[in-house]
Each structure stands twice: as structure tokens, then as C-alpha cells.
Structure 1
Amino acid sequence: MLNYKNIVPSNELAIGRRVIEEFKNIELLEDLTWNQDELKWVMKCAITIETTSSFVPKKTIWYIFIENSYPLGTIKFYPAKDGGITSTFPHQNYNAEGKNEVPWRLGDLCLDTNSRLFNRLGLSPEPAEYCLRLGWHFERIIHWLKAASAEELFKLGDPFEVPQFPQNSTLKLAFSEDATTINNWKSIKAKYGYAEFNIVNKHEGNPLVVTSKFFNSQENLVLENKWGSFIENNTGSLILGGWLILDEIPVIEPWQAPIYWGELMLQCTKQQVDLLQILKELSPKIREEKIQILMVGFPIPKEVGKDKTQIHWEAIELPLLTKNNKQASKGFRDEEKGYWLRDQHRNYKATNRIKWAKTENWNQEQLISRGSIGTEVSSKPTLIIGAGAVGSVVAELMVRSGQKEMTLLDQDIFQAGNLVRHTLTLNDLKSYKVEAMEKRLQSISPHNRIKSFTSHFPYIDEETQEIIKMNEVIIECTGENDTLIHLENFKWNSVKTFISLSIGYEAKYLYLFIANGEIFSSKAFFDLISPWMEKEREMTDGIEFPREGVGCWHPVFPARADDIWLLVSTAIKNIELAIKEPKKHPTLLVFEQQIEDGIFKGILLISQEEYK
């Protein structure tokens, strides 16, 4: 453990700090001092720029926080309470005064590039060298101050950022908005009304609330959020709150969210909105709720200067309103008018702080922005036959990539032997695989809809058959020859994309059969794969298989979990391509794990053959 007594700056930090002497417009007021409370080095500087504005004086004072691991770690610039900027700007956290006992404010600047995560790849201009990194940050703050003074912190085409709404509520609210829903909102005349929220059961102690329905002030439904199976199956209490949409972000210049009720009311007034009157109108129906919420929405663009493409919501946990079963305080009548007078007097004083809650946009497009299969694939209902190791990984990867509708079909029970490679866990032992997988997959996304049937294909009732026929993509992962015959005999009644996915002994080979049509051709499959099955038999001649082994290319054959995920990942990429660009003829793709001289070299396509 590091002993911080008599600590001195490292040589790297001392050299980095000398760079300041090269800046003519930077004056060192207090040299590096170790702050035991912050566990960081702190120094105080004055920075002078030529231009000024009503928000940025010519000279500003700053406290700079540097980690002891420099040049690693963060470097933060905080305005001084005495001589620092007092407003909040873009690319800055809310610039509150903070604790009385410290001389700096809380509004640290965002001077990092938005590609910080890619530093290792050399994609960020921020230098890593100790002799350059601190100086680079000082150059950035000088540019930041000049841009702030000239009101040029927002550049045309930059990613748009919402001001920080300081959160002091434990409530978390999820909504779903995109380019489609903003058009719906544009067609709605109402600008405020009631909203229904669902509290997700598993978060009762620290409430997670999702938007459900929006009504106008006359209680007519104007918009409804459609969520997936998990939200539907795990919501408990239904609560009623309020909503309000403004034409613009309620922001105090240059870029501060309202902190007090008086500030928010003033910003609403500037947009010809009487917030107090709206609260008065909504209060009678929401005052009995255990959590009282007001959502404040406004349209935002994706990029600065571009068209507005979605509604963004911030949420307020309202001060508890007077309950109907309690008498109003002395001086107020025990009726709604009296309740409101009490609430207005006690809850909505101009100097009362707003209790902002954390909000997140859980729209499908937003959640899968880190990587997804295209909508041409994710929008197609998919049936997975077989919920073994291969089927479970196929389902998991597809759902995590944005698959919206999926049906699972398998009759097997999850056993201890399955733990090695399956996506399920000890908690799922002795459960039907597909039922446990349904719950797991539903919990991955708030938008997907997963169904499961504990049956062996094709021995299913007529109702289940009709559900299965609605799927457009059929992925067979059983490794059983009989299933392929049943696929051919089943009356699908429409064109499908058929996929059969199987893995060879010790996961050396991946066999991926792809076909399109109203009928699955088992002849095409067996004609294409037979030579490879003969090769598998020769490879495994004389080998004693584990008890689970029931065929030379069955997915439960000896193979590690990483082999399964590796080969299934290869299959997913080709399944995506096969759906986007359907193949004219049944095709068998064969991939092989390549290992040479003790080095794994990847997965190689070694055969591609069409059946004509």
C-alpha cells in the first residue's frame, strides 16, 4: 500500500509541470501540492485570454487535479470559487459551488477527446508521453476558454449534447424515443398531460420506472410505448404521473439546466408555458401515487445545427403532494383547492431545489448502437430448433445483436453435464432448456419477444404449428438427421431461409447449410455433407466418445466452450449475409480451425459448394 506521508511529485510529473513555464498566458499561483482528501496532486493557475464575454472574463483562476500515476490517470480542471468562471458551459459538468471547505467549484471541463477509449490504437491525438500530456491539456483549456468567450463551443456537425441535469433522486426512468416517435409527437396537439409508468419489480428498492402510456389532460390516450417480454412480465406497480413537452431545451445561458423551481418556471414562461398552472391541473390525479413524477421533454438533434430527430426526456421526482386522506395544514381548507394552495406554498417555492432523476433512452436503435445485425435480419422472426450448446449460443449472439422476435423449440431438460458449454447456469438445472433460455434472453433486451415450446419438432399441436409457421428464418441446431427429414415434410406454406448448423469432432469443422424456399431439401443437405461425414468417421475411427455423443457431428461432441462460441460467431456472420443476400441454390459452407506451429491462426473457409 502506498505511503502518502512526505510524498513528492514523480520525476515524470515534475517534468510535465515545467511545460507550464512555456505558456506566456499561464501564471502558476500555487505549485503542486498533495491533497490527501482527493488523493491527487493539485495546483492553482491563472489563465489569461485576449477575448472576453459576459460569461468569460479575461483572466480566470483554475485548480488542476492530477493523479499520482501521471502520465496515467485523469487530469481535471476545476474553476476557482474566487476568480473562476461561475456559469455552466457546453462540455462542462454543472458548475455548482460545491463544498464550503474547498476553494474550487464542481464544474470540471471535458477536455478529453471523444475517442479516449481508442488511445491504445493510436486514434486519439492526446499524447501519452509525460513530457507532453499535461501541456496538451493546458493547450486544450486555452482553446476551450477562447471558444467559450466567442460562444463557439458548439461546432456545426458536432455530436449534440444535452446539458447535465444534476441528479439528486434515486429514481431511474427509461423511455423509448426515436425518429419515428418524434413524428408522432409532432402530430399530437397536446403539450402536456398524464403518463402511466411501470415500476420494474426487481428494482423496487431503487426504483426503475419505464414509460408506458401518454394521455392528454382530458385523459385520452395519445401515445403508447411498446416494450418487449421482459418489461411486460416483470412490471409491478402502475403509477400515474405527468408529462410536459417544450419546444426547446430549458437551459440557462450559456448551458445550465434549471436547478431550482423558479429557474424552470422562468424557462417555461419564455416558451409561453405556465408550469405552475399545469402542475395545478395535474395534481388532483397524481397526489395519491407513492412516487410522483413529472417528465419534461424537448426535441433534440443528433448533431449540432441539424434537424431535430427525437424527443429527449428528463424526469422530476416531485415533492410529495398533500394526500386526500390527510387534512391540509393549518390555514388551508380540507379540499382540493386547499391541497393545491398548500402544495404551491411548500413544494414549488422559487428557491426549492428540483429533484432531477436519471433518465435513459432505451430505444432499440440506441441500445444496439455499439454493434448490431442489420434490421433486414433483426426484424425477421426466427425459429431455433435445438437448445443445446450450439443453439443456446446462436440465440444469445443473435439477441445481443438486436434480434427482436425469436421462438425456441426443444424438449430437453438442462443437466449438470451441459454446464461446460451452454449459456445457462447452475440456477437453471432441471429446468426445460428453452424455458430457462427464454427468461435469460428476455432479460438481455427490453424490446425482444421470446417464445419457447417444450416439444420435439415436429410433434407439436396445431396452435404451436401456426406460431412456428410465422417465422421467416429457421435455424436447425439439433445435429439429428431425423430433424432434417421432419423439416422437409413440415408444411411451411411460405418461403423461408433454412439454416442447418453443426460442428464436427472437437470443433475442428463448422458445417453451415443454407437454403431458401417453401420446402427444405434433405436430399440437397445429405448430398453436400456426406463426403464430410465420411471424413469425420475416418477421423474418429477407434475413438471412444463421451456418453453424450450420439453422432459424429453432434454439437455435444468433445469441444470446449470457446470453440463453440468461436464457430457459432463465424456462423452468425454468414447467417446475416445469407438473409441479406439470399442464395439461389442450397449451399454448404465448411470452415476449419487453423492451428500451425502451436499458434491458432483463425477460422478458414475451406469449402463452398452449391447443390444444383
Structure 2
Amino acid sequence: MPPQEITEAVAAIAERDGVTVLKDPYRDDSNGRWIVKIRLSPDDLEPHPDVPRETDWYLHLRDTYPADSIGVYPADQEENTITATFPHQKLNVAGSDDTPWRRGDICVARYGHTLSQTGATGEPSTSRDRLCWHMDRALRWLSNAAKGELREPDEPFEIPAFDTNSASATTIAFNETQESFSDWMTAYGQWGTVNLRSLPTAEETYATGTFKDSDDEVVYQPQWGGYIDSNPDDSVSGAWALLEEVPIEPPWEAPETWEQLDVFFEGTETDPYELRANIKPVLDDEPVKILLIGFPIPATVDGDPEIIYWQPIEIKEFKDPNDLSGGFRDTGKGPEIAERREAGEEQIRWLDSDNWSHEQLTRRGHMTEWFLDRNIVLIGGGALGSMVAENLVRAGCQQLTIIDNDTHEIGNVARHTLTIDEVGGNKATAIADRLESIAPYAQVLDVDSAFPPSGELPEPIREAEVVIDCTASRGVRRALDAIRWNHPVVFCSAAMGRRANRLFCFTAYSHTFPYSDYNEAFDPWRLQEQIEWDEDEDAIPERVGCWHPASVIRTDRVMTWAGTVTRLLDQATALSLRENHFTVLETGSDDDLPTISKATPPFQDGTIWRAPESPITVQIPATCLEAMYDRCRKEHPCETGGILAGTDRLDGPALVVNARDPPRDSIQEPTRFLRGTDKVEEWLKDARESIGIDYLGEWHYHPDASPDISRDDRTAMNEIANDDGYDCPHPLLFIVGQDEEGQFSINAYLFHDSKEYEQLEQIDNPDAASTLNVGDDI
């Protein structure tokens, strides 16, 4: 029994005008579908020799109906059927001996615009309505077929269906564009030879090489990438002939015999039988004998021709004049006479073909046009770099140079585009080979060298119009800063954070990489990353028995950022000369869904303090202040405090990044606080070596009192200023006070080893004062 959904759908179409159910659903085990025989009779059908008043059809429905595709096939070997092929129909040849339908499934859903629809988006999804919708459109398909209105003027041009079932499974890849069309406009009606390069694909595929005319003059030389250019020797000779129009017989059928094809050569310089005789010496000894039939096609139905399309023919064998009945005189015309007498009714063995041109293969999506023919240099073939490079090529970029001197190791496979086959080889070389195998238009060079290469810069680098750095190396960025190009270059330096929860992408348009601008933008983030780094969680031994730390980053996160880099590159084309842009994006933890947002810059919400006499400014972020206030609330009514740690910045205020809680051995009482020393020295040493922050001073809490400095505070801080162990001659002291309403206030003080101190002033504009490192002598 058919599924209930199919039973309901068939009952619904039986009530439709113009639809008659001739046979209830039955199971066809050969294709695993339910078959329904119907008859269609549109009310408005006009007379047409190939469209009977009533036509019988077979519907193909899957078990999953109303999901999946619906087939509508003409009946076979019956009076009430369609045997011709129309536009928007698969090749309507006879089916197999044990099936009562032909193969000409009509396209009622995929070509919605041909039936006064905007597409198949309006197709209903319920079991009763969906099949009715298909039947309504099948009736309209028949009406339009009889009127000759299946093709609308503005719809994409459709290549007729060529019967390739009788030939070998060989495909010809050609490379034709609007630009190459002009090379062929003077060759209509002519013929010649073509070099066909065998490609190492799973199916037998040949790519077109040089086209020559009958006088052995080059007519057209397609420009291929490295994948096809690397196979120049493994080739065969073929032939070509160029028609002046698409070989279509009404209603929409390609020629099936040489006699039918002869019609399309009429009025040209080429006779097809003479052509067969002329190309026999070229093709006779080849393992496959291929003749390309070319014709101009438009982009839309009523448009002007703008590209040459090649449909290949496999010639099984040429005719032998010695086999002619009655004999022949050897006048030189024997081969032509043999072909004319014997080949006319011969079935044409059409082969499959595909246009592998750059503009054709990038129709599904490509980068901004500006990038597609630029010379791009990518430095760093690691996880991020290899994926960025692959994105560039798949998005249409044609000229790429990869620079990397590292070896591809087995550990790289976890998050790299290369495979086990390339382990032990140079990354740049292996990536270049892979990229050329992805796109036939790609020319990818490899430079097995660190950057910059020693000696004179290679030409691909000197001529680079786009330079992408995926090394996360300060040395590479410095090297880029030292090179000056004669022309402006789009620069992109992309790196992931330690956990890959962030992407840092700096783009610029200039004659040299603006290293100082990059550093100014990235420095706060470098510190933020160091602070967040957890060696126990973020690194593991590379392999058992050694301690070579490897970062724990999943490949899906790398893929996300690699795709984002190419998006940001697209945006970089809007940069003006000497303009740059720094973007930081971040996503959630590994357990979260990958939502990405623009990251909030670190340390931007801090309070700035300035010394009234010394040229010193200090910034303390709100996060540190809040950490201090939380500790004060927790220990109230006792005094408390801790260590201030941070960093000196040459181009900005000294930055406090950690207001540490009091050590365990600290004394915390209502009227006294003595900061302990337990593990303080170890913590400071670790912070200095792993994070890059140093001791800057102390913080202290006065419960229910103003944040004024006491004599004991001054004594303690002066001792610290003069203690070489702290290595901080100008320590800071932040005092937190609290009023009667529980509101916190804060004062800041700067001490000197001369036992003097200054109370700092809070300012709004960090640029209002010059800067001096807190640890420097005055």
C-alpha cells in the first residue's frame, strides 16, 4: 500500500480539470518509487504536430512524499505521448525495455519563470496541494509547448540536450569567455585541429589546448592554470569545426545523425563529409577520436551571441574507400566519397563537455572583482594561512604565491588543509599543488623560504598587489615594514588569539606595511591575551614524552576565521592610500554556538590619573576598580588591600591590569591592614615571564573613612620605593574610602625613592599629559 500522503495527493489531482488518473499508485522496485499513470488534456491546447490533444504521463513519487522531487515522464510507445524534446525538458529518448515511460522528465518546478512564475519558491508543501500544483504547471507546460512559448526572451539561454548515451564516458573541458569570443568571430564555418590534454581525473577528461586552423595557424590559445599546464605532454590531437548557429532542430533537439548535422554546415566553407576525410590523418592513430563542434550562444534567449560553446563528437572509425561497393577510382576524393556514402545515417556519438573558464566556475560566488586578477602573496602556510589560501582560490583568485619554509608534520593534519600524503614535504609547495588542483584557472607559485627571502626579492613579491601575513610573527611584520613597493599594496595581517576565540585583522593600503600603526592598535590586545592565557588549559604536549606545547584549537574555529579574513579583504578595497583599519572579532567558548561579534577593545573604560609635578600618567580599567570594590565589600568592616600589577607603555599611560587580592598571610582588621608576602614573589615572577606585567604598587581600603593617606601608608610605600627587590622606584598607592551611604571613593598617590610623594589627579583626556614609565627614575 502506498503511503497515506501519496493516496491523498492522487485523490486530489483526480478532481482537477484536465487531469485523469489512469492507474492508481504502484511500486516500481527498480527505482524504489511509487508510479502513477495519468492523462493530461489542457483546455487551451493549440494544435501542434508533436503535442497530441491528450497525452499520457507517469508520475514518480518517493516514499518521503510530499518531500523530495516529483518526476513527470511521457509515456513510451503509445499514441498519446510526446516523443520530441522541448525546451526545459530532459532528453526525451526511449526508456529501458522494462519501463513504460520515456526519459524526458519535464521541468515544471525548476524553471518557474517559464510559466509566468518567479520560480519554485511558491510551491506548496502539503501532500494534497503539492502534487496539484505540479499538475497545474504540467498542464501549462503543455499549452506553452504547443504555442512555442516555453522560452521567455529574458531567461537564461539553455543548451539543447545532446544524446551522450552511445559514446564513451569522456568529457571535454574547454575555456571560453566573452573575451575569447572575438578570436572566433572570423572563423565561422571553418575547421582545424586542437591539442587535447589528458587530465588525471577520476573520469576520462581532456582539456582544450591550442586551436589551429586548417593552415596550421594559431586561432586561439586558452589560458589555463598550473593544474592543466603541468600536463602538456600527455595529450592527443583532436579536430574542431565552428558553426554559425546553435545546431537545434524543432522543437528543441540536437542532430542525431551526420545527415541531420549536414544541414547546419550549409552555406559555410566546410562540408562535414569532406571534414571527416581531412581530419582522418590527424585522428586515425589516436586512442580516442574527437571532433569539437562549436557554435555561438547568447546569455539570454533573445540576446546577442557572446561565447563559443563546444560540443564534442567521438568518431568511432573513419570510412574506408576500399569498402565501397562497385569500387572507386583513386582521384584523391576516395575518403570524402566513402564518408559521404556511408556516414550520413550514422548515429552521432556526442560526448559531454563543460566550460571550465574562470568566469564560469566562479558564478556561484567570488570575491570582489578587484581581487580576481591581482598578484597575491600569502606569507605563512599554517592552519590559518592554508585555509585563507584555499578560500582565495575557491573564490576566484588566479595569481597566488605561497611563502613558507616549514615542513608539514603529522600533527598539523588536525587543522590544516594538507593531508597525510604531504607529511614531510614543504608546506608552501604542497599547498601550491593542492590549490592548482582545486581550480583550473589558478597559477600558484611556492617559495620555500622564511620571509623575507635572502638576497633580491623574487619577482612575485616585487610585483605583489596584495600581501597577506598569516604568520602571527612580529619579525615578518617588521620585514614588511622595511620593504617599499613601487606601487600601493593592499596589506592584511591576520592572526588568531591564543584560544582562537578572537581574530585580529589589520588591513592597510600603502607602499609599505605600517608597522607602528599596527603595534599601536594591537598592543592592548597583546596584553589582554597574555592575561587570559592559561597554560594548563590552552596548551598540551605535542606528543607523549616531550614538552613542546601545542595550542588546543579546533579546526572548525580556524575555518570560521579563515572565511572572515577573506570577507575583511573584500572590505579593504575601500581603503584610501595610507589608510588602515584594525578589526577584532570574537566568539564564545567552545561549548557555545559560534556567534561572532565585534570585540570590545580592552582597557578602554579605564580612569586616567596624572601626577601634578612628574610627567607620569596611569590608567586603571573599570574591571580592576570593580575587583577592588568587590574585595572591600567582602572584607568589610575590616581593612584590606593587595598588589597592583601592570605594564609601562611607551606610547600611553602606565596600565594597571591586575588588582590582586590580599595574600593568605595578610592581616585584615577593622583598624589595621598588613599585606602578607605568601607566594607574592612567585606570582610576580610568573606574571613577568608569562604575561609580561610587573609590580606597580599597592591598593588599600579604609572602611567607613575617607581615602586619605596615613603616616603608616607613607612609611610602607617609601620602604617599597627604596627596596631593590621590588625594582619599582615610583610605586603607586590607590586608597579606597567609603562614606556613610556606602559609596566608594578613591585617591591615587605616586611615591618616589626620595621619600616624596604626589597625589594624582583624575583626568578625562589621556592625551592631556606626557607620559613616563612608572619604573623610570625622574
- TM-score, L = length of structure 2: 0.71
CA contact (8 A) 1:328 1:334 kept: no
Q: Which amino acid aligns with 1:40?
A: R
CA contact (8 A) 1:382 1:407 kept: yes
CA contact (8 A) 1:48 1:59 kept: yes
Q: 1:511 to 1:149 in 2, by over 3 A?
A: same
Is the counterpart of residue 186 in structure 1 residue 179 in structure 2? no
SS in 2 for 1:392: helix
Q: Which amino acid aligns with 2:290?
A: I
Instruction: Give the whole-Å Cα distance in 2 for the aligned partners of 1:460 and 1:597.
Output: 45
SS in 2 for 1:132: helix
Match of 1:142 in 2: 139
Greater mean deviation of Cα atoms: 148-157 or 107-116: 107-116
Q: 1:541 to 1:319 in 2, by over 3 A?
A: closer
The CA deviation at 1:188 is 4.0
Match of 1:5 in 2: none
Q: 1:282 to 1:412 in 2, by over 3 A?
A: same
The CA deviation at 1:185 is 1.4
Q: 1:498 to 1:105 in 2, by over 3 A?
A: closer
Instruction: Give the whole-Å Cα distance in 2 for the aligned partners of 1:449 and 1:115.
Output: 39
Match of 1:456 in 2: 450
SS in 2 for 1:506: coil
Instruction: Give the whole-Å Cα distance in 2 for the aligned partners of 1:337 and 1:290.
Output: 26
The CA deviation at 1:527 is 2.0
Greater mean deviation of Cα atoms: 273-282 or 521-530: 273-282
Match of 1:126 in 2: 123
Match of 2:369 in 1: 375
Q: Aligned match of 1:86 in 83, 88, 95?
A: 83
Is the counterpart of residue 562 in structure 1 residue 561 in structure 2? no
Unaligned runs of 5+ in 1: 1-7, 117-121, 550-554
Q: Aligned match of 2:51 in 36, 50, 56?
A: 56
Greater mean deviation of Cα atoms: 77-86 or 352-361: 77-86
Match of 1:10 in 2: 3
Q: 1:520 to 1:67 in 2, by over 3 A?
A: closer
The CA deviation at 1:540 is 1.7
Is the counterpart of residue 171 in structure 1 residue 183 in structure 2? no
Instruction: Give the whole-Å Cα distance in 2 for the aligned partners of 1:566 and 1:556.
Output: 20
Match of 2:466 in 1: 473
CA contact (8 A) 1:200 1:236 kept: no
Q: Which amino acid aligns with 1:195?
A: V
Is the counterpart of residue 539 in structure 1 residue 538 in structure 2? no
The CA deviation at 1:414 is 0.8
- Deviation readout 1:508-531 (Å, 9 max, x if unpaired): 221111222222232222222111
Instruction: Give the whole-Å Cα distance in 2 for the aligned partners of 1:160 and 1:461.
Output: 54
Is the counterpart of residue 233 in structure 1 residue 225 in structure 2? no
SS in 2 for 1:505: coil
Instruction: Give the whole-Å Cα distance in 1 for the aligned partners of 2:268 and 2:13.
Output: 46
Unaligned runs of 5+ in 2: 114-118, 544-548, 605-651, 653-778
Match of 1:196 in 2: 195
Instruction: Give the whole-Å Cα distance in 2 for the aligned partners of 1:105 and 1:270.
Output: 36
Instruction: Give the whole-Å Cα distance in 1 for the aligned partners of 2:322 and 2:421.
Output: 50
Q: 1:582 to 1:405 in 2, by over 3 A?
A: farther
- Deviation readout 1:370-424 (Å, 9 max, x if unpaired): 1110220121111111111111111111111111111111111111221111111
Instruction: Give the whole-Å Cα distance in 1 for the aligned partners of 2:591 and 2:279.
Output: 73
SS in 2 for 1:507: coil
Match of 1:21 in 2: 14
Match of 1:67 in 2: 62
SS in 1 for 2:161: coil
The CA deviation at 1:450 is 0.3
The CA deviation at 1:216 is 1.4
The CA deviation at 1:142 is 0.5
Match of 1:353 in 2: 347
Q: How does 1:404-443 map to 2 (within 5 A)?
A: 404-443=398-437
SS in 2 for 1:214: strand
- Deviation readout 1:125-149 (Å, 9 max, x if unpaired): 2222101111111111110011011
Instruction: Give the whole-Å Cα distance in 2 for the aligned partners of 1:48 and 1:156.
Output: 27
The CA deviation at 1:430 is 0.6
Instruction: Give the whole-Å Cα distance in 2 for the aligned partners of 1:270 and 1:114.
Output: 35
The CA deviation at 1:334 is 9.0
The CA deviation at 1:246 is 1.4
CA contact (8 A) 2:243 2:294 kept: yes
Instruction: Give the whole-Å Cα distance in 1 for the aligned partners of 2:53 and 2:112.
Output: 31
Q: Which amino acid aligns with 1:196?
A: N
Q: 1:338 to 1:391 in 2, by over 3 A?
A: same
Q: Aligned match of 2:251 in 237, 250, 254?
A: 254
* Corresponding pairs, count: 586
Q: Which amino acid aligns with 1:466?
A: E
Q: Aligned match of 1:577 in 565, 571, 583?
A: 571
Q: Aligned match of 2:261 in 261, 264, 277?
A: 264
The CA deviation at 1:167 is 0.8
- Deviation readout 1:335-361 (Å, 9 max, x if unpaired): 975555555555x131x2111100001
Q: 1:430 to 1:13 in 2, by over 3 A?
A: same
Q: 1:344 to 1:201 in 2, by over 3 A?
A: farther
Q: Which amino acid aligns with 1:586?
A: N
Instruction: Give the whole-Å Cα distance in 1 for the aligned partners of 2:99 and 2:540.
Output: 68
Q: 1:582 to 1:567 in 2, by over 3 A?
A: farther
Instruction: Give the whole-Å Cα distance in 2 for the aligned partners of 1:98 and 1:192.
Output: 36
CA contact (8 A) 2:197 2:206 kept: yes
Q: Which amino acid aligns with 1:183?
A: S
Match of 2:388 in 1: 394
Q: Which amino acid aligns with 1:74?
A: S
Q: Which amino acid aligns with 1:253?
A: P
Q: Which has the higher contact order (CA 8 A, sep 6+)?
A: 1
Percent of aligned positions that are identical: 29
Instruction: Give the whole-Å Cα distance in 2 for the aligned partners of 1:100 and 1:202.
Output: 33
- Deviation readout 1:557-593 (Å, 9 max, x if unpaired): 4321111111222221111210354464233221111
Q: 1:400 to 1:79 in 2, by over 3 A?
A: same
Q: Which amino acid aligns with 1:245?
A: L
Larger Rg: 2
CA contact (8 A) 1:164 1:256 kept: yes
RMSD: 2.9
Match of 1:39 in 2: 32
Instruction: Give the whole-Å Cα distance in 2 for the aligned partners of 1:311 and 1:242.
Output: 15
- TM-score, L = length of structure 1: 0.89
CA contact (8 A) 1:293 1:315 kept: yes
Q: 1:417 to 1:480 in 2, by over 3 A?
A: same
Instruction: Give the whole-Å Cα distance in 1 for the aligned partners of 2:589 and 2:529.
Output: 18
Q: Aligned match of 1:385 in 379, 403, 406?
A: 379
Is the counterpart of residue 208 in structure 1 residue 202 in structure 2? no
Is the counterpart of residue 279 in structure 1 residue 276 in structure 2? yes
Greater mean deviation of Cα atoms: 398-407 or 35-44: 35-44
Match of 1:77 in 2: 72
- Deviation readout 1:250-297 (Å, 9 max, x if unpaired): 112100111122221234337785322222233233322222111111
SS in 2 for 1:356: coil
CA contact (8 A) 2:110 2:120 kept: no
Instruction: Give the whole-Å Cα distance in 2 for the aligned partners of 1:476 and 1:583.
Output: 19
Q: Which amino acid aligns with 2:378?
A: I
The CA deviation at 1:74 is 2.7
Match of 1:505 in 2: 498
CA contact (8 A) 2:55 2:82 kept: yes
Match of 2:627 in 1: none
Instruction: Give the whole-Å Cα distance in 2 for the aligned partners of 1:167 and 1:189.
Output: 25
Instruction: Give the whole-Å Cα distance in 2 for the aligned partners of 1:89 and 1:556.
Output: 61
Q: How does 1:477-496 map to 2 (within 5 A)?
A: 477-496=470-489
SS in 2 for 1:502: strand
The CA deviation at 1:25 is 2.3
